[in-house]
Amino acid sequence: MTAPLGRVVATERRPNTPHEFHFWTALDSPVGIGTIVRVDGRDAVNGVIPHVYGIVTEGFSWTDLATPLHDVMGHDGQPGSQVAVTDRAEIRLYTAAVLRHIPEEPLQPVPMGAVFLADEADVHVALRMDGYLKEGSRTGIPVGVYRAGGTDAPIYLDADFLLGPEAAHLNITGVSGLATKTSAVEWLLQSIFTHFPAQKGSIAAVCFNVKGPDLCFLDQPGVIDDADRALYDQCAVPAEPFSDVRYFAPYKSDGVSLNTLRSNEALLDNVTSLTWGLREVLQYAEVLLNKDDIDAKADALIDFIKENVLDKRFTDPMLDRPHTVASFADLDAWFKDVLRALEKKDDQSWRTHHVATIRKVRNRLSNISLRCKGLVADDGATSDLPFGSFSDRTVYVIDVAGLEEDAQDLVFARVVTKLREHLEKRDLGVQHVVVFVDELNKYAPGDGPETYVRKMLLDIAERGRYLGLVLFAAQQFRSQVHRRVVGNSGTALYGRMDGDELATPGYAVLSPAIKTKLATLEKGQLMVRHPHFTQPIFVRFPRPAVMRGRDGVSQYPQAAAPTLHAAVLRTLRVLDPALTLGWLEDVTRLATDEEILRARNAMVRERPNDVRRAFASHFRASVAPRSATRAPTPAPLPALPSDDPYGF
Amino acid sequence: MHSIVASGAALNARTLQRELTGLLPEARTVDGESTLELTTQGNDAPRLMSATVVEGDRLQAFQVAGESGPGFRAFLDGTQKSQVVCFVGSAPVVLGTVAAAVRDRRERRMHTWRTPLIEHNVYVPRAFLSPHAWATLERRLGDTLIDTTDGLPDIISHPYALRDAAFHRVQFRREGVERRLAEQWCADESDALFIDGGISGSEPVAVSSLTVGVVKSHRTLYAEGEALGTVLGLQYRQRSSVFRITSPKRTTVASWYLRIRNPDGHDPMWGLVRAEVAYPGPSRMADLGARADDVSRWILAEASPLALPDGRWDKMVYGVRDCEEFLRAIT
């Protein structure tokens, strides 16, 4: 049996309660803030010696000095004067918050007794992990390793409470620049993919890369050291990059090159363009149009277009011709026709829609294709995530870092809505999806106007766990995120925190010592809150075994902007690797750039079996050049005889 | 962890009160009484005594030169607490607790040396108690019952006189446990021991080269006339000449006064202590001055840290305060 490291003490002024107790230790004890300890009671209750588990939340130290002035006097006012031959009596007193009582009833104040450092088994019991680490019904997901006083114990989250259905969602807070938030998510995803219980089915992750190259190299190995490897070993997670990652990125405004930092030729095999047409965008017009844009009249016209115009043959006696609107270009032609008709008749309204409303909606909708150029194709071409055929243990990264804010919102809203729709219908391809969103305070702020994205995030936070749609969200300032979003996150991780943030009311439940520890956390350390843990726990996690964004950018520099033909060929080769640049140049010799891009988009959309023929069919057949040759001269007619009576 | 050796089951005042009122219907309990240490101490009359100077021919002041370094390894002190729990007639029944401990300094930190001694006893004036009452108490308390009138045939029945008698018995017991610990140290250790108080009460302790007694109270001053002026005029880091203290009931020791704090602005006794060491044989007499200087430097080194907030901090060294705090915690 190990020796006790402290003793419980209680006084009338500082009594113990069922949720808090105090103990003192030797001056050289390894106890610190966040250390888990076990108290063995002295007296049996109902025949059982009580054991109480607690975590140190506060520490005090003092000597027998009655006032600091006595020390000044003792040194004659000279701090550097002779050192006293005896050190004053000194105490290390700690306050611990109770994690668990064994037995749980009757719940009594913590008894006097010896205090021991918790070993790994104690940690399991203290954090109630014993309930979900049983063989046969194991649902533990390692989140890191608890380290204190020589005890190393992996800490597990309960998959039922992290990924549903009991509770779900994860929120990560921490200051920027310490690689905590993104690294923690990368590590945790790897851990989830390794330990996700078989009985819960399949799982995939959709990550939105909203800034820089953070998530652009998840399939490339990163640099980790022996200490990291030890943590991986302890958590039984392979120290490897993700084996199956698929990237999606919109085009740049030129429609040729992909708008991502992962554009190096060597890495393009799993990068797919993300392109949406009018149909996809109009469903989420609310995301891109603000309240001033969409009054009741405009809303009515947009609904009319969605119901009666989009993807249908639309005829009207007033219009010059029938319209089938499938793209922004078609829509603009339809608007022009309607307005021309109104001008011709000198009328102010058409089908109850006022001409001003029509002009306004035309202006706003047409504007979308400009604001989201690269993502939204004028011609209705669509290249999307593989909704319906998601793969187990696969990470889908959508790189929206290069997009305007509106376009980011659009991508986010549409992707998440589609995920929800497919999960509701159980036809996504996997049963659980983790959606990782950084900068949550931008998408779901605590104040500001109600936006579509915020409403959608609230919906996921409150109902997603029943569907298997789990939100992993990160932000620098948790206090600035909508309360219902963070409140519904069953699990919360905290990296190093800013002092101002810690001063906000949301952190009032933490002791000053815990706040100090949070403000000085090292890289790779997290504070974890989880439904099974009655108090926050500090853990260490390894560096993710994936290439860091900035390393990836230097190792795989961005490709130079490709020529139109090179870019198109790259896309088409995904469908038919045998295609050559010479063939492409021949086929498109007489085509404009727009025609070539339209043909490419059609290939991506239709994915034909015979790409060569399908692509060529979009262009006029070119005539092979031939050198002019003189036509063979017919043999000269014989000269007429001079005596021919019929000759003229 | 050290165990406590007590001379009987640990008693506390409230338990004893409850038991005695059950055993002796005539007992009247008292509540809220101060301890006798607060009400009785300091009743000895101040006095001056002459002493034979053995360093030179008259008492002089010497500057203690040189660096003050730690010379003591451990500190010994004892405590006592006497509380009247009830009266049987005019006879006070006093619960007395005495304790002594040696605190050993290792790496500048204090640790308890061996087992501290603690005794709980009940002090009763048998001469003023009915035989039945005494017999009843004796049955219940056994060896812990102490007769405070034993050997005092002339004591009067004034409750204060009986209370003082109890106090002195407790004091005697306290000196006894201190003496036992000091003797253990002298028998088993080889480093210097700082004893709070005189050392002449025990022969083995008084002749040991390991023990230094440091007396803080000066109800008796060993100087008269011009010598008294010299003692009271000692400046910081000055000591008096060494003199000899002899007593018919005690062992002869060598002693000197030492000023361990600057007395400017304070009363003449401020920072004044009297050191006692073993009286040397004739062959070591010449070294007595050097020995006094060495020991004085050791004592001066103990002046920091201050023993505040104890009111006697000008004379008390921190090691002794530590002993007192330790004993307060365990008694």
| Phi, psi dihedrals of residue A354, rounded to the nearest 5° | -70, 150
Cα–Cα distance for residue pair B229/A511, rounded to 1 Å? 61
Is the C-alpha dihedral spanning A472, A474, A478, A481 positive or negative? Answer: negative
Whole-angstrom distance between the N-terminal and C-terminal Cα of chain B?
Answer: 15
Q: Specify whether the backbone of A179 is left (phi greater than 0), alpha (psi in -120 to 50) or beta.
A: left
Q: What is the 3-state secondary structure (H, E, C) of A231-258?
A: HHHHHCCCCCCCCCEEEEECECCCCCCE
| Phi, psi dihedrals of residue B256, rounded to the nearest 5° | -160, 160
pLDDT of residue A255: 78
Cα–Cα distance for residue pair A19/A334, rounded to 1 Å? 70
Whole-angstrom distance between the N-terminal and C-terminal Cα of chain A?
Answer: 139
ipTM of the complex: 0.79
Residues B162-181, mean pLDDT to the nearest whole number = 94
Q: Which amino acid is at B8?
A: G
- Across the interface, which of A66, A82, A87 has its CB nearest the CB of B309? A66
- Across the interface, which of A74, A82, A86 has its CB nearest the CB of B110? A86
Q: Is the CB of B311 inside 8 Å of chain A's CB atoms? A: no
Q: Is the CB of A89 inside 8 Å of chain B's CB atoms? A: yes
Cα–Cα distance for residue pair A298/A360, rounded to 1 Å? 8
Cα–Cα distance for residue pair A618/A600, rounded to 1 Å? 9
Q: Is the CB of B71 inside 8 Å of chain A's CB atoms? A: no
pLDDT of residue B1: 32
CB spacing of A85 vs B322 below 8 angstroms: no
Q: Are B76 and B194 in contact (CB under 8 A)?
A: yes
CB spacing of B325 vs A89 below 8 angstroms: yes
- Across the interface, which of A27, A67, A84 has its CB nearest the CB of B305? A84
Cα–Cα distance for residue pair B38/B81, rounded to 1 Å? 9
**What is the secondary structure of B6-60 as a DSSP string?**
-SSS---HHHHHHHHHHH-TTEEE--SPPPHHHHHTT-SPPEE---EE-SSSS--
- Across the interface, which of A70, A85, A89 has its CB nearest the CB of B308? A70
Type and span of the H or E element at B261 = none
Q: Which of residues 178-217 of A touch B (CB under 8 A)?
A: none
Query: Closest chain A residue to B306 measured between Cα atoms?
Result: A74
Q: Is the CB of B225 inside 8 Å of chain A's CB atoms? A: no
**What is the secondary structure of B139-186 as a DSSP string?**
HHHGGGEEETTTT-TT----HHHHHHHHHHHHHHHHHHHHHHHHHHHH
The single residue listed with the structure tokens 């061996």 is B114
Residue B326 CA: distances (Å) to CA of A67, A117, A178:
20, 27, 49
User: % helix / strand / coil in chain A, to the nearest 5?
Assistant: 35, 20, 45
- Across the interface, which of B105, B108, B304 has its CB nearest the CB of A82? B304
Query: Which one-letter DSSP state was computed for residue A618?
Result: T
pLDDT of residue B4: 37
Superfamily of structural domain A161-272+388-552: P-loop containing nucleotide triphosphate hydrolases (3.40.50.300)
Cα–Cα distance for residue pair A543/A13, rounded to 1 Å? 45
For residue B16, how far is the Cα from the chain centroid?
Answer: 27
Task: Name, in order, each residue with C-beta under 8 angstroms of A518's C-beta and a sequence gap of 6 or more.
Answer: A494, A496, A497, A502, A510, A527
Nearest in space to B289 (alpha carbons), one of B241, B323, B251: B241
Residue A91 CA: distances (Å) to CA of A21, A27, A33, A37, B111:
16, 7, 16, 18, 14
Q: Are A415 and A437 in contact (CB under 8 A)?
A: no
Furthest C-alpha separation in chain A: 158
Q: Which of residues 54-83 of A touch B (CB under 8 A)?
A: 64-67, 70-71, 73-75, 82
For residue B27, how far is the Cα from the chain centroid?
Answer: 32
CB spacing of A70 vs B302 below 8 angstroms: no
CB spacing of A86 vs B318 below 8 angstroms: yes
Cα–Cα distance for residue pair B317/A33, rounded to 1 Å? 36
Inter-axis angle of helices A355-371 and A296-304, to 10 degrees? 70
Distance from CA of B69 to the nearest CA of A (A): 8
Nearest in space to A187 (alpha carbons), one of A524, A432, A421: A524
Distance from CA of A97 to the nearest CA of B (A): 27
Q: How many CA atoms lie within 13 A of B89 on its CB side?
A: 13
Q: Which of residues 11-70 of B touch A (CB under 8 A)?
A: 68-70
Q: Which residues of B touch A82 (CB under 8 A)?
A: 68, 304
Q: Where are the beta strands (DSSP E) in A81-128?
A: 90-102, 113-117
- Across the interface, which of B105, B301, B305 has its CB nearest the CB of A88? B305
- Across the interface, which of B306, B322, B325 has its CB nearest the CB of A70? B306
Distance from CA of A535 to the nearest CA of B (A): 33
pLDDT at B8 over 50: no
Q: How many CB atoms lie within 10 A of CB B18?
A: 12
A382: helix, strand or coil: coil
Nearest in space to A618 (alpha carbons), one of A629, A604, A631: A604
pLDDT of residue B10: 60
Residues B9-32, mean pLDDT to the nearest whole number = 83
- All structural domains of chain A with their residue ranges: 6-67+87-126, 161-272+388-552, 279-371, 562-616
- Across the interface, which of B69, B108, B309 has its CB nearest the CB of A87? B108
- Per-10-residue mean pLDDT of chain A, 648 residues long, equals 90 95 95 96 92 96 90 82 83 96 94 96 96 91 94 96 93 85 94 95 95 92 95 96 95 85 88 86 76 76 88 89 86 92 89 90 83 78 88 96 86 91 94 94 86 88 92 92 92 93 91 93 93 95 94 88 84 86 88 84 81 87 60 66 61
Query: Closest chain A residue to B301 measured between Cα atoms?
Result: A85
- Across the interface, which of B305, B309, B325 has its CB nearest the CB of A86? B305
Residue B265 CA: distances (Å) to CA of A77, A78, B61, B269, B271:
18, 21, 20, 11, 12
Type and span of the H or E element at B82 = strand B72-88
Cα–Cα distance for residue pair A350/A341, rounded to 1 Å? 9
Q: Which residues of A touch B105 (CB under 8 A)?
A: 85-86
Q: Which residues of A touch B305 (CB under 8 A)?
A: 71, 74, 84, 86, 88
Is the C-alpha dihedral spanning A376, A379, A380, A382 positive or negative? Answer: negative
Chosen for mutation from A9, A72, A85 (greatest number of chain B CBs closer than 10 Å) is: A85
Q: Is the CB of A91 inside 8 Å of chain B's CB atoms? A: no
| Phi, psi dihedrals of residue A67, rounded to the nearest 5° | -150, 150
Query: Closest chain B residue to A76 measured between Cα atoms?
Result: B304
pLDDT of residue B112: 95
Q: Are A477 and A501 in contact (CB under 8 A)?
A: yes
Q: Is the CB of B110 inside 8 Å of chain A's CB atoms? A: yes
Residue A527 CA: distances (Å) to CA of A33, B150, B176:
12, 71, 58
Buried b (16+ CB within 10 A) or exposed e, B23-44: ebeebebeeebebbbebbeeee
Query: Which one-letter DSSP state was computed for residue A506?
Result: G
Listed in sequence order, the DSSP H helices in A520-645 are 549-555, 564-575, 581-587, 593-606, 611-616
Cα–Cα distance for residue pair A25/B5, rounded to 1 Å? 25
Q: Are A207 and A247 in contact (CB under 8 A)?
A: no
Q: Are strands B211-215 and B192-196 parallel, antiparallel or unpaired?
A: parallel
Task: Name, in order, each residue with C-beta under 8 angstroms of A341's C-beta and a sequence gap of 6 or more.
Answer: A316, A318, A319, A320, A350
User: pLDDT by residue (tens digit) across B44-95?
Assistant: 789 999 899 999 999 999 999 998 889 999 999 999 999 999 999 889 999 9
Q: Which amino acid is at B87?
A: F
Distance from CA of B71 to the nearest CA of A (A): 10
The single residue listed with the structure tokens 């050291």 is A225
Query: Closest chain A residue to B69 measured between Cα atoms?
Result: A85
| Phi, psi dihedrals of residue A252, rounded to the nearest 5° | -75, 175
Q: Are B122 and B144 in contact (CB under 8 A)?
A: yes
Burial class (CB in 10 A: 0-12, 13-18, 19+), A429: middle
The single residue listed with the structure tokens 């040991």 is B208
Q: Are A141 and A135 in contact (CB under 8 A)?
A: no
Q: Are strands A90-102 and A51-63 parallel, antiparallel or unpaired?
A: antiparallel
Burial class (CB in 10 A: 0-12, 13-18, 19+), B324: buried
Query: Which one-letter DSSP state was computed for residue A528?
Result: E
